[in-house]
Amino acid sequence: MDVVYLFHEAGNIRIPFYDDDKPLFTRLTQQGPGSWDAQNHQYIACARSTGEQALARIFADIPHVIVRQDAETPVTVHGFFGQNWDGAGRMELPAPILSDKPDFFPPEALARLETELYARKYSPKTMQAYIHYNRDLCRTVQKPPEALEAADIKRYLALLEKTRGFSASSMNLAMSAVKFFYRNVLNRDCVREQRRPRQDKRLPSILAKPEIGQLLDAVQNPKHRLLLMLAYSSGLRVSEAVTLKRDQIDLARKTVFVRGGKGRKDRYTMLSDVVAESLREYYKLFTIDNWLFPGFPADCHLSIRSAQKIFDKALEKAGIAKDASIHSLRHSFATHLMETGTEVRYIQSLLGHASVRTTERYTHVAKRDVLRVQSPLDTPGGG
């Protein structure tokens, strides 16, 4: 590997390995602030000051390129001929190009879009998505924003489904991003006639209560087991579970305070008696001052990707042959509450759904009413 790329994305630093570089691999795994992602063949570290400083020491004598998403100086080049270059220095570099096509989204358009998003206090995740899709649209059709027409946007959305296999919800997010930019930044409404894709009417994947038991029994690591227990017993999104802090757990009141959930909404949800006891044991085993589930380095929380891998390994070890993800634990929480007769409005509050219609979809998978219906094969004369 002659040149190494360090991509700063969503709070992490990602270092893909395209070729074998054993000295660098050894140096990273032994001295680095992150961990090796074998499945995706890349090294991941937290993009905090301590992580950046540690990587700067490791790469001091190695030519490398740092790519920061949506930064004022998006690309900086280090270690070539003993020199460093950046967008304001001796070598003019374009915005980060993650494909073979050049970027047609100009810096002034990016700045105006960011201003509108900040002014409306959009969440960092939404801001990142809106910026990404508008830049990707211009890069894909190879036109600047002012030159785009309704036909270009329609072609882009068609490509998302045809060549990238996007779901309806992902296509809708892309369309919302483009609409926001053209209506609020360019004061144009060229997306008005574009109809949104029909939503996929998919039912969530649910684990039965015995399967939940099998899953938890398959996990020996107390940290990993507690993570899965909390995700299920409190109905947490994976992003909420991995970012929990100790002060958000109230053992006396048996509550979990979810700070800044989806839509930047705070809420309280329940804390299981079993989980409360597990937490007391957990605090004896580990020193937890901040993050309930610290990652590596310890000043970062566990990543969503790591949490998903924990779930996948547990599912495989438990021998459960279902197409499930860690989010299935939240789905199972809602479904099992519904099956025991809990009112939909209470479940809506615990899950933090803005609309009760979102919660009502669990009626399609809950067996509360279906249990009263007997299969014709089981009735007299049915077999």
To the query of whether residue 345 is one of the catalytic residues in this protein, the response is no
Q: Which of 244, 209, 204 is nearest to 223 (CA)?
A: 244
- What is the crossing angle of helices 222-233 and 304-318, to 10°? 90
Do residues 216 and 210 touch, judged by C-beta distance below 8 A?
no
Pairing mode of beta strands 42-46, 12-16? antiparallel
Give the Cα separation of 45 and 43 in Å (integer). 7
Q: First vs last Cα of the chain: how many Å apart?
A: 67
Give the Cα separation of 293 and 273 in Å (integer). 19
To the query of whether residue 327 is one of the catalytic residues in this protein, the response is yes
To the query of whether residue 8 is one of the catalytic residues in this protein, the response is no
From 8, 14, 237, 331, active-site residue: 237
**DSSP bridge pairs for 256:** 249, 269
Do residues 75 and 93 touch, judged by C-beta distance below 8 A?
yes
Q: Which of 370, 357, 375, 363 is nearest to 206 (CA)?
A: 363
From 14, 78, 301, 353, active-site residue: 353
Q: Fill in the amino acid letter for 227.
A: L
**Token pair recorded at residue 26:** 């050894």
Q: Fill in the amino acid letter for 355.
A: S
To the query of whether residue 224 is one of the catalytic residues in this protein, the response is no
To the query of whether residue 237 is one of the catalytic residues in this protein, the response is yes
Sheet of 267-270, strands arranged across = 249-250, 255-258, 267-270
What backbone phi and psi angles, to 5 degrees, belong to 107?
A: -60, -35
From 225, 330, 331, 336, active-site residue: 330
Q: Fill in the amino acid letter for 91.
A: M
From 112, 132, 188, 262, active-site residue: 262
Q: Fill in the amino acid letter for 29.
A: T
Burial 219-250, CB ≥16 within 10 A → b, else e: beeebbbbbbbbbbbbbbbbebbbbbeeeebe
Give the Cα separation of 35 and 312 in Å (integer). 18
Q: Which of 237, 204, 365, 217 is nearest to 307 (CA)?
A: 237
From 48, 327, 361, 367, active-site residue: 327
Which residues belong to the active site?
237, 262, 327, 330, 353, 362
